[in-house]
Structure formats: C-alpha cells, structure tokens
Structure 1
Amino acid sequence: MPAAVKRYFAILVLPSVLLLWLSTPAGARLGQEELEKIHAIAAVVQQRYYQQVTAAEVLRAAARGLRQELESQGVAPGFSVDQVSSVGAFDRCFLECSAAHPRLARTGRLTEVAIQGMLQGLRDPYSAYLSPKAFEEYVGAMGGTEAGGVGLLIDQREDTREVVVLDVIENSPAMHRGVRTGDVMLTVDGARASDLGYQEVRKRLRGDAGSLVRLELRRGGRSLPVELTRSTVHLRSVLAELLTDGERKVGYLRVRLFGAETAGELRDAMRGLEAAGARAYILDLRNNGGGYLQTAVEVCSAFLPSETLVVSVRERNRPERVHYSNASAGTAHPLVVLINEHSASASEVTAAALREQGRAMLVGTRSFGKGSVQKLIRLKDDSALKLTTAHYFTPRGADLDKVGLQPDLVFQMPLGAIGTTSDVQLTRALELLGNPLAAADRAIRGSTLK
C-alpha cells in the first residue's frame, strides 16, 4: 500500500441527482421529516452500495452514530444499539432522541450523525455524507473555484500521519506566501495537523474570504510559521508548456484533477502546443487524486484511436458498463505518462488505458491503488451522498484496488522535486521520448526497479 491514504480528489465519481424524500406537512412532529431522509438514504445504501448490506446492519450503524454523539455531549443515550433490529425500532429510537434533545434535532445534528454512522458502518473510506455547504464546496472545487480557500492541495501519509502539501495553486494566498509542494503541515491555528486528520485540516483551511489561518510548516528540517488570508481561488486543472529537447519539441501537460472543465482545457492546451510545433507529449498525472470518470474517458480520447476500450465498470446486480474513447481519433504522437504514489482513481484509469492500449509508457513510482467508483447523489435539501457503487477494471481486466500501477520505469525522488531542476522523473521522460533504448538502459542501471 503506498504512503498516501486520503485525498480530496481521490474519487472516481459518477454524478447524479436524486430527490429522495417527500415534503412533510407543516406541523409534523419533530424528527419526522428527518426520519424520512434517513429512510431514503438507507434504502439507497441497501440498493446501490457495491457490497450487499442488510437493513438491520445499516440501521444499527445509524443508531451507533446517534449514541456516540449523545455520549460525546455527556448525555446518557437511553437505548442500546443491539435493540435496533428493525425499521420500527430505529424510528422509535430516533423520535425519542429528537423529543428529548430538540436543539440537536432542530439543527439537523441528529440526522447528520445518524447518516454519518450509517456510512461509517460500511467501513468504506470513500463513502460520505456531504452537508449542503460541503457539497457546494465540492462542486465548486471540481469546477475550478474554491471560495474562502488558501490554494493548497494536501494529503495525509498513511505511515507517518503527516499532512503534506501536494500542490500550491498559482496566484493563491499560499503561493504568495511562499508555501511549496512537499512542505509538511505541522499545525493549523495551533492544532496538530497529524492529530486533526485530512478531512479536519481541509475544513480548517477554509473560511470566509478575508479571514486568517495560521500554519506551521516544516521544510528541510526547519519550522516555518505562515499566516494566510483566505480568498477565492481559481484552479486551472490543466497546465501546459512547450519543452525543447534538442531538435524535438515536447508538449508537457500537467493534469491536476479530472474536473468538469478538464477535458476542454486539455483540448485547448493541445491545440496551442500543436501549433507551436509539439511532436510528442508528456502527460503528468503525479499528485492527481482523480475526479470524474467521464473526464478520464475524454482525456484518454485525446491520445487514443477512435472507439478504443478505456475502462469497464461493474456494479452489484447491474450489467457491466463499458466506456470507449470518442468517435474522433486523438493524436498519434509519442506519449509518456508520469505517475506517483499520489496518482489515484481517474488518474489510474487514464494511465492504465493508455499503457494497455499501447499508447504510452509509464514513468515514476507505483500509483495509489483505488479501484472503486462513487456515485454522487444530490438530495432535495442540497446535501449529497457520495456512495461507492462499483469497481472499475482496466482494458485487460485488471482490478487496481489496493494494488496500483507499477510504472515501466521507476525513479524515486522527493515530492518537493516535482517541477524543479531536480525533477528526475520528468528528465527521464524527455530522454525516453528522445532515445527510448538509451533511456531504458539508464533506468535499469540507475533506478529502483521493483
């Protein structure tokens, strides 16, 4: 298992909109409408989660979420999770809690912890409930806009629990204050980042535009205090540059995420690079945690012949869905793809398809290994359910979950070297495009091949 464990964009998402529960007439007793929402979500989990779960398992997990919340507030729950073995038993439990704790019921907190408990019971790190605000932030980020952010993409290492900076967005508060890729985040407003965990650090980095967040970073053994003023951050998901390697002009395409605008940005970038004389490409998917499945198919289409198999998706009790590249053929220019341990999900779909269809060699380090697919289900109150509904398989039928992709040429290097003169992975990719045999020979003699 690679070092990375969680990431904001580490999802392969199939967007969907579903208005799940009916309105409740005014005057309905406290907790009734919230109960209907829980029922609706429980039904979706039972029907669509990629592994079979029973109603009793789902409702007990929801009751466990309720009990843990009450205990955290110093309140005796008044019920046992083991008593919840039916819909009726859970309903009584929830309505009694709502009547006994009206403040928690009115704020929606009881509903939220019940849903969170339900999803935690799946023991699936990728299934989650998004509040209306969290859902709005997610959609904005996938569209390239982060309101009240600082411009950092982060991850948490599984082995050390360190929160590390994966990318610093251009023209962001973090870039203006000198934060760099590879910096380790020690504290956020005085709280230890490793103790807070990935999700809580992300939450604390956000806030109202104009507000401050204070970080302590570690870089090369030194501690660096940094104060950032939050603002609206605009993220370009594709960065392009023309690299000259001797007589060969190489189009460098760095894809940060597979978002709503990524395919269009990639096409525009490639048109510009072609006009400038690019006759080979490097597709950099390092530190790219994924995104939308359809975007991955469209990115692959830019490099594959028409109607070429990209990925297949298998759901429980549903026919397999197969995705092919677009009807119009992509470029046939030579291609190298860069990946690392933070490349996940849609990045792995893309890299695997391009290699298995004979279009690219992979350079870097083994990818993360995420083979599941999440469906994003919007609820009528503008909250959302992100639920694992399927697994994807490469054109040759491989399941990459917890395995990842091993590059053809493996070169280890520090995370902070990406994009610098010490970026040996990029250097080797350029060599491979210029002289494949010589580059492969140097790789065998000088790299860590596993």
Structure 2
Amino acid sequence: MNQSAKRYSPLQVALIGGAITSTALFSVFGPAWCRSVRAALQDSPKAIVDQVWQLVNREYVDGKFNQQNWVTIRQQLLTKNYSSREEAYIAIREALKKLGDPYTRFMDPKQYDALTSQTSGEVSGIGIRMEVNEKTKRLTVVEAIENSPALKAGVKAGDQILAIDGKATQSMKVDDASKLIRGKAGSLITLRLGRTGQNEFDLKLTRATIEVPTVRYALRQEGQKRVGYIRLREFSAHAADQMRKAIRDLGSQGAESYVLDLRGNPGGLLQASIEIARMWMDSGSIVRTVDREGVSDETFKANKTSLTKLPLAVLIDNNSASASEILTGALKDNNRAVVIGSQSFGKALVQSVHPLGDGSGVAITIAHYYTPKGTDINHKGIAPDIKLDLSEVQQRQLATNPDMLGTQRDPQYVRALTALSNTFALPKQPNSTSQRPASPGAVNLKL
C-alpha cells in the first residue's frame, strides 16, 4: 500500500519538528527578569517574538548565530513594546536578518498559508489552470484538472472567463482571479464563460479540495525508440505518488528509457526527494545531513524499491534547486543517470517550518546536506555531465511555449536523447514494477 501523502503535510511536518516550550530557556536570566518576561508575554505580540527566538535558539544550524549574541538579541526584543502584530513582525524579521541566512525567514499568516498550500500540493477551488491570452487579452482556461469540479462541469480549454461571481475579469491579472476562484471546499462559485460558437453562459460550481498536478509525462516515439518524458515541477506532498504513477504508466506503454526534467524546479519537501530517488535507485546513498554540531544527523539510502532500471537522463538548469539537487546528486553520484543542462542553483541547506500561535510561521535552517560522494554544493551547484547552456532566445522560447519542452524543439532534451542512445548498445535491464512503498525517512521541509 502506498504511503498517504497527507501524512507529510507541512503542518504535520512542522509539528513533528518539535513542540515549543515557552520557558525552556528562561534559566539563562535572573528569576526576577524571568517573572517580568512571563507577565509581558501573556496575550501580547511578544509571545510570537519569543516563540521565534526560542525555535531559532534551539534549532538553527549555526550555533554561533553568525557571530551574533543571540541572548542579547532576545533581551532587546522583549524589552520593546509592540503596539501591533505587524510591528512585532518587523522586529522578528530584523532579528533574523542578523543571521545572514535568507532561508531562515518569518512569514506572516498570508505568506505561511501560501507556503503550506504550495507544499501540500492541494488547493481549494474548482481545478483549472488559466492565463491571459496574448491575442484576446482575456482570462482563458488552459486546462481543467483531472477529477476537478471544473472538468466534471464541462469547463474546456479555451473557455474565456468573463466574470467571477459577477465581477468582470476584463484587465484582471491571473493572481487576482485565482484569489477570487479559490475558497472553502463546499462553497459555491459562478463563472460566466465565453466559448467559441456559443453564447455567453453562467456555470455554477462547488469548490473542492484538489490535488495539484506537479508531474506531467508522455511517451515520445523518437525514431525506433520509445522514451518516457517526465517533468517534475516541485516536490510537493503528492509528488512521490504522481511520480510513481508516471513511471509505471510509461513502463506499461513500453518505454525503453526515461528523461526526467527538473529544470526550473525550486525544490520542496525533503521526504519527497528521498522517496523519488528510491524509485530510480535500488542501492546506494541518497543524501547525508549534518547538524549544528557538525555531526552527521542521518544518511538516507536506497532500499531496493526501484520501479525501473532502464536508462535515465536528467535535465537541470540554474533554477533547479534544493530537493532537485538532492535527487540529481544522488542519481549522478551513483552513476544511475546522465545529467544534462546548466549548473544547478546551489542550495545545500535544510529548513524546518513551524506554525506559530497567530497563524504566522517561521522557516529555520537546521542542517547542511552533502551528496553521496560528500560534495558540498552550497553556492556552487551540481555540474552536469554534459553541459549545454541555452541562449537567451532559446530560454525565452521554451518559457513562452511550454509545449516545446521535451520535444525536438528543446535542445537539452534532444541532447539527452543522444546520450541515452549510447546506452542501448549495453545489455537491456528489466523494467521492475515493485509495489513496495518507500521508507518514511525524514520529515523536514527542504525549501
């Protein structure tokens, strides 16, 4: 039985990271000062300020706090009076800046909610992808997602969204339209649609919780060979299940090799990257994390649960980061795949994300990671086996025409086909379809 992706939702991840003990570190000050602090923290924005300080003090990867006196910073934070939460948020952000780590960051409730929605791989809405059409300048449906209220109601690609609950969408940005369309599961929404060959019409839909597709795949017939092309956009909580389905579907269609496209993938959940690596590898180390004491926290390895042993090429670029680099590093260092493209981003830090009492949140860098061969890629990135940088024109073409990705009009994909062709002279290995689930492993966010 496959693991439930919801088991590793961001909220649970953060809670597993450790409960917050508001008095755990009060002993570093005098008793009288401690009593005054406790009184000041009751029902005050200072409660959030101290909650963040406590978490950073306990978990942050740099025990020297970037040469800052972290205890003094706490005293300074708690001697201030905050007239609002917003004022406290500013103080928290200023304190975190002193760590010199852009990945240790505070998020207000809206930012935290956006992050958890993204990494959960779920949204509450009607299940469409949309864009502002370049020619018509109208908000237009690109796709109705599988099993979504929109698809079940008959929404089609190319439909123009003219109004959302009576509000005209003329000149409306996609982000603004998304905010109107999203809402509580079970609530109603009315879209006014325009469709070629029909009069405008209203369509009532009921919002639902929808799994966002983060994996897209297709079987390509390239000459005499069948190539399974898989594009992974981010490592959300549902990414592993979607990747498992993609590998198995393509295998059942007779794929003889695979191209895994991680270009532009900014990362996501550490656990998802480990699970996906195990789908491609039967043995070998995946990643090693090191904590603030310089001690190896844990080494994650393959566990003989690979789904295929067929030839594999991986595409990366300058925006392939974090969890993408963990997966790429594991496949490269274990000689499981040939890596093609541009140098990756270079982020070798692990964050744990915690919810705070008022709905805000904080991400804290808790560990450094190394590839199986012990390489530190932070600020360096992973060098591809075959370096092929795209020109600005080529990058622009692929960005504005995503349907070109993974086709003969995609230079890096074409180069991957050449690299894979060299492997067909070798004895063909069986395509395993093991049903065993991946090990739970770590539960920290890798952002």
Residues 351-366 of structure 1 aligned to structure 2 (within 5 Å): 351-366=328-343
Q: Which residue of 2 aligns with 1:42?
A: 53
Mark the CA change 1:13 to 1:87 in structure 2 (over 3 Å): closer, same or farther.
Answer: closer
Q: Could you tell me how far apart the structure 2 residues matched to 1:13 and 1:310 are?
A: 25
**Letter of the structure 1 residue corresponding to residue 14 of structure 2:** S
Q: Which residue of 1 aligns with 2:435?
A: none
Q: Which residue of 2 aligns with 1:397?
A: 374
Q: State whether residues 254 and 283 of structure 1, in contact with CA within 8 Å, keep that contact through their aligned partners in structure 2.
A: yes
Aligned length: 336
Mark the CA change 1:240 to 1:21 in structure 2 (over 3 Å): closer, same or farther.
Answer: same
Aligned-residue RMSD, C-alpha: 3.9
| Secondary structure of residue in 2 paired with 1:295 | helix
Structure 1 position 87, deviation (Å)? 4.5
Matched, 1:271 2:282: no
Residues 230-309 of structure 1 aligned to structure 2 (within 5 Å): 235-306=212-283, 308-309=284-285
Q: Which residue among 401, 405, 413 is the counterpart of 1:426?
A: 413
| Secondary structure of residue in 2 paired with 1:137 | helix
**Letter of the structure 2 residue corresponding to residue 341 of structure 1:** N
Residues 41-440 of structure 1 aligned to structure 2 (within 5 Å): 41-53=52-64, 57=68, 85=72, 87-92=74-79, 94-95=80-81, 98=82, 104-105=83-84, 108-146=85-123, 170-171=143-144, 207-209=179-181, 235-306=212-283, 308-317=284-293, 319-320=295-296, 321-413=298-390, 414-418=394-398, 419-420=403-404, 421-435=408-422
Q: Could you tell me how far apart the structure 2 residues matched to 1:342 and 1:202 are?
A: 23
Structure 1 position 145, deviation (Å)? 3.4
1:130-175 deviations in Å (ceiling 9; x for gaps): 223322221211223356899699xxxxxxxxxxxxxx985599x9
- What TM-score, normalized by structure 2, do the two folds share? 0.65
Q: Which runs of 5+ in 1 are unaligned?
A: 1-11, 61-84, 99-103, 154-167, 179-188, 191-200, 212-230, 439-450
Q: State whether residues 283 and 338 of structure 1, in contact with CA within 8 Å, keep that contact through their aligned partners in structure 2.
A: yes
| Secondary structure of residue in 2 paired with 1:385 | strand
Q: Could you tell me how far apart the structure 1 residues matched to 2:314 and 2:113 are?
A: 32
Q: Could you tell me how far apart the structure 2 residues matched to 1:89 and 1:118 are?
A: 10
Structure 1 position 261, deviation (Å)? 0.4
Mark the CA change 1:202 to 1:381 in structure 2 (over 3 Å): closer, same or farther.
Answer: farther
- What TM-score, normalized by structure 1, do the two folds share? 0.65
- Comparing 327-336 and 350-359, the one that deviates more: 327-336
**Letter of the structure 2 residue corresponding to residue 51 of structure 1:** D
- Comparing 347-356 and 124-133, the one that deviates more: 124-133
**Letter of the structure 2 residue corresponding to residue 37 of structure 1:** I
Q: Which residue of 1 aligns with 2:437?
A: none
Structure 1 position 205, deviation (Å)? 8.7
Q: Could you tell me how far apart the structure 2 residues matched to 1:365 and 1:152 are?
A: 30
Q: State whether residues 50 and 388 of structure 1, in contact with CA within 8 Å, keep that contact through their aligned partners in structure 2.
A: yes
Q: State whether residues 336 and 363 of structure 1, in contact with CA within 8 Å, keep that contact through their aligned partners in structure 2.
A: yes
1:281-314 deviations in Å (ceiling 9; x for gaps): 11100010111111111111111114x2100001
Structure 1 position 13, deviation (Å)? 12
Mark the CA change 1:234 to 1:305 in structure 2 (over 3 Å): closer, same or farther.
Answer: closer
Structure 1 position 360, deviation (Å)? 0.6
Mark the CA change 1:410 to 1:436 in structure 2 (over 3 Å): closer, same or farther.
Answer: farther
| Secondary structure of residue in 2 paired with 1:431 | helix
Q: Could you tell me how far apart the structure 2 residues matched to 1:398 and 1:204 are?
A: 43
Mark the CA change 1:204 to 1:130 in structure 2 (over 3 Å): closer, same or farther.
Answer: farther
1:200-251 deviations in Å (ceiling 9; x for gaps): x99989633389xxxxxxxxxxxxxxxxxxx998631110100112221111
Structure 1 position 114, deviation (Å)? 1.6
Mark the CA change 1:90 to 1:347 in structure 2 (over 3 Å): closer, same or farther.
Answer: closer
Structure 1 position 398, deviation (Å)? 0.4
Mark the CA change 1:310 to 1:13 in structure 2 (over 3 Å): closer, same or farther.
Answer: farther
| Secondary structure of residue in 2 paired with 1:286 | coil
| Secondary structure of residue in 1 paired with 2:179 | coil
Q: Which runs of 5+ in 2 are unaligned?
A: 1-9, 24-38, 132-140, 146-154, 161-170, 184-206, 426-447
Mark the CA change 1:297 to 1:50 in structure 2 (over 3 Å): closer, same or farther.
Answer: same
Mark the CA change 1:364 to 1:202 in structure 2 (over 3 Å): closer, same or farther.
Answer: farther
Q: Could you tell me how far apart the structure 2 residues matched to 1:53 and 1:319 are?
A: 16
Q: State whether residues 341 and 366 of structure 1, in contact with CA within 8 Å, keep that contact through their aligned partners in structure 2.
A: yes
Q: State whether residues 339 and 367 of structure 1, in contact with CA within 8 Å, keep that contact through their aligned partners in structure 2.
A: yes
Q: Which residue among 12, 15, 24 is the counterpart of 2:13?
A: 15
Structure 1 position 319, deviation (Å)? 3.6
Mark the CA change 1:29 to 1:240 in structure 2 (over 3 Å): closer, same or farther.
Answer: same
**Letter of the structure 2 residue corresponding to residue 39 of structure 1:** D
